[in-house]
């Protein structure tokens, strides 16, 4: 598959009487977007706000973050969710509004929704403090079940991102990048002297608001499969979960998976990037065993020399991570794990809930139990009323002036376990 990704740089968002892009500014008609969101009768309120880098603004509770994009050719955006399933994405041409995001915000769905600060100490831990953000604040009907509310919020964000992405359809990109992975035997033959490297991409799929969608299918419903990396970069996977904010792989992060992007940077130079083995994270032991067996079988079939493995979340998924590691290694394929750690505030507890003797190479994305002081902000988009019950917070952590102390795991993507962050750890 060959994907052309054109990026149109956005430096600011402003409200206007129509929606368009000009001189690197995204102009948005508020009424149009609010009307689009409220087409869903499960939502009774919608308001828009803009959060810019450096402002004393806090956004919470955050549900998802999405980069506005449009498929110029080769399928439709968010296939199986908004767009048509066929043809698959990952080829043709896509235009992205680079430097801006759609962020869905509103009354909490589950305690695992997080915070984005646009300035101050917490801003250093979150990539979205550096983007210009259109915040879509939603209000659900009373009495909705949590999974129904989650879906309404998820669809609202995707619809707005697709709507804004249309402004880029006929624009000339500032940059145009090309990514290609050929069918497996052709790909192997291209660089016969380079090590064949794959990526085992574990999706959150434990249910109860821990879901991810693959071409519109709940990830817990599929077995491990092969994916072209460009499919993931092009919207085949969307987030639909409320895992710990620090670990949450937003839809934006699926577009910009750092493992995939870095493997492409090294492709043809010091590695032959063969593709992605997509798998999920299971609740029951039999499913964990079955799926890790299949991951190892695919790695062997692809004749890989090495793989990188990432997870989403922590605790229970650590077992899936270690099962994949052990079984792939036993097939003669070298494994490097990428994950974050949770050793407690004092750093003295076991960092991962599971381990195995084959886990000899691990890149840490930092530890989420470290605490941070969050200062008072001039503006709150959403509400602060849930901070003490959000993961990372605790009863009494909020001061009268609105400042608070919390573990950094309350920050969206602060220790995200695919490496899209600034933290690491050094072993001794």
**Which residues are part of the catalytic machinery?**
242
Contact 251, 238 (CB under 8 A): yes
CA angle 290/296/297 to nearest 5° reads 85
Structure-token pair, residue 64: 């998802």
Structure-token pair, residue 311: 């997870």
Contact 197, 335 (CB under 8 A): no
Contact 69, 165 (CB under 8 A): yes
Structure-token pair, residue 128: 């979205």
Cα–Cα nearest to 328, from 285, 288, 299, 287 = 299
DSSP state of 173: P
Q: Helix, strand, or coil here: 370? A: coil
Q: Rounded to an integer, what distance in angstroms lies between the CA atom of residue 225 and that of residue 1?
A: 16
CA angle 88/92/97 to nearest 5° reads 100
Q: Helix, strand, or coil here: 350? A: coil
Contact 66, 151 (CB under 8 A): no
* DSSP character string of 105-121: EES-SSS--EEEESSSG
* DSSP character string of 311-344: -SSSSHHHHHHHHHHHHHHTTT-EEEEEEEE---
């Amino acid at each position: 598959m060959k994907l052309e990704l054109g990026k149109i740089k956005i430096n600011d968002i402003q409200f206007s009487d129509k929606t368009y892009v000009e001189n690197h500014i995204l102009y948005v008609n508020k009424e149009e977007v609010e009307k689009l969101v409220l087409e869903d009768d499960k939502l009774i309120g919608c308001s828009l706000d803009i959060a810019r880098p450096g402002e004393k603004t806090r956004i919470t509770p955050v549900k998802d973050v999405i980069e506005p994009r449009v498929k110029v050719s080769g399928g439709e955006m968010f296939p199986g969710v908004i767009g048509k399933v066929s043809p698959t994405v990952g080829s043709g041409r896509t235009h992205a509004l680079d430097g801006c995001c759609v962020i869905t915000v509103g009354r909490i769905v589950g305690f695992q929704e997080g915070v984005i600060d646009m300035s101050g100490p917490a801003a250093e831990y979150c990539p979205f403090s550096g983007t210009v953000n259109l915040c879509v604040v939603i209000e659900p009907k009373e009495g909705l079940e949590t999974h129904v509310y989650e879906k309404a919020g998820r669809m609202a964000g995707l619809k707005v991102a697709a709507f804004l992405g249309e402004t880029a359809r006929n624009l000339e990109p500032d940059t145009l990048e090309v990514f290609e992975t050929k069918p497996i035997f052709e790909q192997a033959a291209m660089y016969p002297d380079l090590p064949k490297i794959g990526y085992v991409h574990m999706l959150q799929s434990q249910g109860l608001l821990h879901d991810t969608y693959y071409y519109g299918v709940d990830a817990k419903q599929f077995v491990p499969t092969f994916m072209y990396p460009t499919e993931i970069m092009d919207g085949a996977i969307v987030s639909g979960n409320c895992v710990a904010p620090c670990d949450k792989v937003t839809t934006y992060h699926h577009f910009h998976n750092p493992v995939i992007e870095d493997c492409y940077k090294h492709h043809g130079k010091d590695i032959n990037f063969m593709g992605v083995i997509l798998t999920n994270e299971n609740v029951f032991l039999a499913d964990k065993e079955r799926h890790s067996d299949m991951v190892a079988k695919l790695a062997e079939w692809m004749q890989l020399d090495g793989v990188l493995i990432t997870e989403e979340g922590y605790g229970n998924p650590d077992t899936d991570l270690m099962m994949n590691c052990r079984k792939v290694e036993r097939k003669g394929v070298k494994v490097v794990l990428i994950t974050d750690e949770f050793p407690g505030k004092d750093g003295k507890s076991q960092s991962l809930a599971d381990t195995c003797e084959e886990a000899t190479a691990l890149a840490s994305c930092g530890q989420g139990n470290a605490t941070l002081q969050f200062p008072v902000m001039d503006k709150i988009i959403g509400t602060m009323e849930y901070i003490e019950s959000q993961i990372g917070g605790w009863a009494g952590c909020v001061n009268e002036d609105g400042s608070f102390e919390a573990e950094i795991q309350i920050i969206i993507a602060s220790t995200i376990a695919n490496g899209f962050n600034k933290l690491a750890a050094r072993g001794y």
